Structure 1
Amino acid sequence: MSKKITVVGSINADVVATTGKYPIRGETKFGKTVNTFPGGKGANQATACHRLGKETFLVGVVGDDMFGSQILSDIQKSGLDTKYIKMTKEASTGVAMIMIDETAENTMLVIKGANDTMKPEDLRQVEQAMKESEILLLQMEVPEDVVIQAMIKAKSMNKLTVLDPAPADGITFRALNYCDVIIPNKQETKFLTGVDVHNTESARRAARHLDDLGVKNIILKMGDKGCFVYKEGREEVIPAIKVDPVDTVGAGDSFSAAVACALADGVDLFQAAEFAVIVSGLAVTQIGAQSGLPTLDDVLEYAKEHDIHHYLLNYQ
């Protein structure tokens, strides 16, 4: 039976423009391409979980507009169930305006829109989904009280809560009281701990600080350096896989989703991080936060080609 994951989070339309170099403030430059993709951290992570073979329940809100209708259609085509996605007239669908330069790095401006209208009472209808799930996966692009209430519900059901505390602008320290696993990137780690992570020693200091705050399972995402995993004094640096990046939008979302999928399978935090490094590495080789996500078959093929074993052998 497929393991199940509930994702509570944002749903956006991503307007993605590519350019050679970023314009400086006040400057006009000609770009290369522009495309619109389904996005939002919640939707990205739910899609990633689904592609990695997990039955996934996505809980979120879109506007009653062109973007909202298109996103619902895209989600249905992907195979994800839309029954827990609410359409509202209170606000327009969330939009992320994203610019990608020649190094594949991205800069974005997010308009939360309908995501900001989500309320704790919207969670009532998904209690059964949470009961059936092994994992609750969350981020910070929806209101704080929704995040906290979802985590409290999950903890009351003895479910594992996995928090991707992104973006830094949305971080609430209250959430640390209810999360079992935290997966911040470098910017979010600095916001939470004050530590600028640039090597193993600084990652260790940041992880120990989070441990002191009460979170016992910690994975620090370090971009092209891989990740730093810390649990009960045990630590490990897991290097990134070698790829030619095209688009880093959604890489962190795919990483967190992969960790949740692996933990749902019952493996330890370190094996989950190894799996996530492969998934996020493959994700950056294609454009689009969701369209570029690898399938489980893609991951298994990579593992076979590179003689990577661990828990992936369970699928072969």
Structure 2
Amino acid sequence: MNSHNKNIVCMGEAMVEFTRVEDQKGEALYIRGLGGDTSNCAISAARQGADVAYLSSVGNDQFGNVAMDIWSKEGIDVSHISINPGYPTGIYFIEPAPEGRNFTYYRKESAASKMTLTSDARALLSGEVILHLSAISQAISATAKELSFDAIDLVKQNGGMLSYDTNLRLNLWGLEEARSVINKTAAQADILLPSLDEAQILTGLHDKEDIIRFFLKFEPEILALKCGNEGATIIFEGKAEHIPALNVNAIDTSGAGDTFAGAFLARMVQGASPFEAARFAVAAAGISVQGYGAVSPIPNRKQVLEAMTT
């Protein structure tokens, strides 16, 4: 496997988010941001200095403009993102609740769910890249699911690699369909990035070692099992290493797994070994959980290196 110097291409759906907070008078305010797992991954990788392109479709609307502006300011290549005037950019709202937070999504028939591979997108994917996909990218529509396999085929035919996060969202599809699609995709992944809690639901297994054996049967070159506040376990060339999480006060864990994925891929393309990349990524994720939101607390390379030496 040679990931060194490859460009990273993240593909999927991003949505503009509105998080409810209260001002000093107790009046509700909504803070605007950007969400979406592959978008978070792209931003994380870009903040570590990697060359990153995002592949998606947004509506010809204010929310699409917001997303494009945020990506551009992060240094992400947006030149392959299509603008679809017939469908909107997805949005969602985050409301505080006694058990944590409630999420309300408006993503049905979104521009991203109708995305097609344009000639520009095909040219991008033909350039020996690392394509990063998630199961959410596939679950948003039948069109998106078929598109993902077309993109994988194109990347593989041209010497590229597939990075795959098995993010499980049962509000988007049923468990049996999710298992079928995720297993099919995992069998093509060079870098496999499941999360332990979701993997327990996906596989029906509970024990961590059983879950590792389950994913190793797909023969990825790298398996990085994200274990939340316990860190991550990396398996590469028959060797396994568990990397404990930073000892921090976690405030908001949304986007931590995406931060890990982006930081991990960035260090891989910069020449680090999978184990070195994972140590860096665990530190990045540990920093990200100390702030609110998925994007704002994602650290840059300097911040991660400082955290690793303190």
TM-score range, shorter chain: 0.7 to 0.9
Aligned to 1:295: 300
Take 1:138 and 1:207, find their aligned partners in 2: how far apart are those partners?
20
Quote the offset at 1:13 in angstroms. 0.8
Aligned partner (choices 57, 60, 64) of residue 61 of structure 1:
57
Aligned to 1:13: 16
Q: What do you get for the CA RMSD once the two structures are aligned?
A: 2.6
8 Å CA contact 1:106–1:247 kept in 2: the answer is no
Change (3 A) 1:213 1:118: same
Aligned to 1:141: 136
Change (3 A) 1:14 1:149: same
**1:141 aligned counterpart, secondary structure:** helix
Change (3 A) 1:212 1:64: same
Take 1:82 and 1:222, find their aligned partners in 2: how far apart are those partners?
32
8 Å CA contact 2:19–2:94 kept in 1: the answer is yes
Q: What letter is aligned with 1:154?
A: V
Q: Summarize the alignment of residues 237-256 of structure 1 with structure 2, pairs less than 5 Å apart.
A: 237-256=242-261
Residues 1:268 and 2:273 aligned together: yes
For structure 2, the residue ranges without an aligned partner over 5 or more in a row are 138-143
Q: What letter is aligned with 1:162?
A: S
Aligned to 2:115: 118
Take 1:286 and 1:98, find their aligned partners in 2: how far apart are those partners?
15
> Percent identity of the aligned residues?
25
Q: What letter is aligned with 1:63?
A: G
Q: What letter is aligned with 1:234?
A: K
8 Å CA contact 1:2–1:54 kept in 2: the answer is no
Q: Summarize the alignment of residues 33-182 of structure 1 with structure 2, pairs less than 5 Å apart.
A: 34-99=30-95, 108-112=103-107, 113-119=110-116, 121-122=117-118, 124-132=119-127, 134-142=129-137, 143-169=144-170, 171=178, 172=181, 173-182=183-192
**2:56 aligned counterpart, secondary structure:** strand
Residues 1:231 and 2:266 aligned together: no
Change (3 A) 1:31 1:223: farther
Alignment length (residue pairs)? 287
- TM superposition score normalised by structure 2: 0.82
For structure 1, the residue ranges without an aligned partner over 5 or more in a row are 20-29, 197-201, 307-316
Take 2:154 and 2:101, find their aligned partners in 1: how far apart are those partners?
35
